[in-house]
Amino acid sequence: MSALVRPREGRVIAGVCAALANRFGTSATTMRIIFLVSCLLPGPQFVLYIVLWIVLPGEDRTAAPAR
């Protein structure tokens, strides 16, 4: 499993769904669909997205690619 960082490539808004997809080994599109469907349910999903946007570090520009 990879580290939980917001990637520079594949972002749509903030890269939160892309980071979660990388971490759990699924596609970013699948994670985005799961997020959108979860927004139909009551709960703090949008607030959680904003919090993760703030808390998750962005991918370092100078870091070597993970192997």
Higher pLDDT, residue 62 or 16: 16
* pLDDT > 60? residue 14: yes
Q: What is the pLDDT of residue 67?
A: 55
For the record, the structure tokens of 66 come out as 């993970």
pLDDT in tens, 21-38: 989 999 999 999 999 999
CB 12 within 8 A of CB 32: yes
Strand partners of residue 48: none
Question: Do the Cβ atoms of 16 and 49 come closer than 8 Å?
Answer: yes
Q: Is the pLDDT of residue 62 over 60?
A: no
User: What pLDDT is recorded for position 41?
Assistant: 92
pTM (predicted TM-score): 0.76
Contact 8, 58 (CB under 8 A): yes
43-60 tens-digit pLDDT:
899 899 999 999 988 888
- The dihedrals phi and psi of 62, each to the nearest 5 degrees, come to -95, 0
